[in-house]
Amino acid sequence: ILLFFLFCRKPNSRYNEEISSDSETDGKRQSNKEHEYEETPQEKKLRLAKLYLDQLKEDEEKKAEDDSFETDLIAGRLKEEVLERTGKLQRLVAKDILPPEASEIRVLKGHKLPITCLVVTSDDKYIFSAAKDCSIIKWNVETGKKLQTIPGGRKGTEDRHVGHTAHILCMAISSDGKYLATGDMNKLIMIWEAETCKHLYKFTGHKGPVSGLSFRKGSHDLYSASHDRSIKVWNVDENAYVETLFGHQDAITGLDSLSRERCVTAGGRDRSVRVWKIAEESQLVFHGHEGSIDCVQLINEEHMITGADDGSVCLWSVNKKKPLSTVKQAHGCHGNAGLEQPHWVASVAALQNSDTVASGSQNSQVQLWKCAENYRGLTPLFSVPVSGFINSLKFSSSGQFLVAGVGQEHRLGRWWRIKEAKNGIYIIPLKRKLPNPEETKPME
């Protein structure tokens, strides 16, 4: 009876359905597995070919993206170089610079008398400074230690002393860091090997104190200015004099140059700034200050900043005879009521191809300024307390710090003396608010 029941049971019975369902599923799974792994050689070749083509396509797309990025990068650099050459590059960095804390400012001491001039190497690793004690010191920026010292000599020892025996008024370093040039009150220009401080050459020819020196960027051509009212051009590689330029009507007090074959000079009491086009043997003359123009610095190939003993700071374009902007009494006044006199502007500096400049006086402050768009104005950013005469100012190439050469006296004379001041090198850090993409704005 049991066997009869099993054989006669309806096909749609639950028990029979369950067995049937499992059997079918297992069969399908087995069939699927066999279908999945049973791939013909032609199908395998086709599948691998598709994978290879997909990989090639992905690689090409990635390469195209990289090439596009690299092309954009190169185009950006080329555009920046063009703007730099034409003097229209203005990196907008002033808005991000924060004033440093007093504890962050480092002071390097080594000179016995007031510092008169200094330079920073293009890699920002070293500072060279000179002073009224006729000595030259090479400093390590990171450690603040003296690396080498070229001592000054006494008056009358010129024949046997290797170095300066009179106040050093100016210095310059080539953009590749190979040569250092220094000029003094004895009308001499000394050329040194910057790495070892070894004396190489002595240039003579000026008939007055040498007051300005600058290497043309990317070359070893040296421009020098003097109280004899002339500018001279030298080839340091060849140890050779090239030519002399005339035009100023009074002692020249400052000089600067960049990549072009030209230089700019401050003409002291003739109250003129001049741009000398060396190749064309011509000059452009600019007027604007009411006093002796004591310092000049190029911001880019087309714009410059000057300071004078009338207390004013002026911003110039080489395309206009008058200043684009003038700030009078930039460092305030001193003296009794009714007899106030402005603090002389003894030094200026510019962060190249940017909107940031600085000026120094004897009012115990270094003042930083922001240049307006297209260099149409100057607005104060902040001041840094530094006691003494700010005789020299230089920005590092990276813009990470500003270096001030400070003394108890003005670099050109002894009209006043600030006894509480320290003769030293002040390294002022320039912190930024937030790291941001570099902004480059071409001018109209």
Q: How confident is the model at residue 242 (pLDDT cuts 50, 70, 90)?
A: very high
Q: In this predicted structure, what is the pLDDT of residue 294?
A: 92
Predicted confidence (pLDDT) at residue 72 exceeds the cutoff of 50: yes
**SS3 state of residue 67:** helix
Q: Nearest 5 degrees, angle CA 218-CA 278-CA 395?
A: 45
Q: What is the pLDDT of residue 222?
A: 97
Other Cβ atoms less than 10 A from the Cβ of 326: the count is: 20
> What span, in angstroms and rounded, lies between the C-alpha atoms of 231 and 146?
33
CA 3 to chain centre: 104
Mean pLDDT over each residue of the chain, to the nearest integer: 85
394: pLDDT strictly greater than 90? yes
More confident residue, 355 or 6: 355
pLDDT of residue 412: 77
Residue 100 identity (one-letter amino acid)? P
Q: What is the pLDDT of residue 20?
A: 42
The rounded Cα 305 to chain-centroid distance in angstroms is: 15
The reported pLDDT for the residue numbered 370 is 95
CA dihedral 185, 189, 190, 192 (to 10 degrees): 130
**In whole angstroms, how far apart are CA 76 and each of 32, 68, 420, 442, 444?**
58, 12, 50, 12, 18
Statement: residue 46 has pLDDT above 50:
yes
- Residue of higher predicted confidence among 33 and 297: 297
Structural domains of the chain, ranges and CATH numbers in brackets: 106-429 (2.130.10.10)
> What percentage of the chain carries pLDDT values higher than 90?
64
Give CA–CA dist 436/431, Å, rounded.
13
Complete DSSP assignment for 161-208: -SS-SS-EEEEEE-TTS-EEEEEETTS-EEEEETTTTEEEEEE---SS
Rounded to an integer, the average pLDDT of 120-139 is 95
Rounded to whole angstroms, the Cα distance separating 22 from 124 reads 81
- How many other C-beta atoms are found inside a 10 Å radius of the C-beta of residue 250? 15
pLDDT tens track for 137-176: 999 999 999 999 999 988 888 888 889 999 999 999 999 9
Q: How far apart are CA 94 and CA 73, in angstroms?
A: 24
Higher pLDDT, 346 or 442: 346
| 319/10: higher pLDDT | 319
Written as six digits, the tokens of 112 are 């016995």
pLDDT (tens digit, 9 = 90+) per residue, 408-438? 888 777 777 888 888 999 999 999 886 555 5
State how far the Cα of 339 lies from the Cα of 312, in Å rounded to an integer. 18
**pLDDT (0 to 100) of residue 60:** 80
Q: Which is more confidently placed, 335 or 24?
A: 335
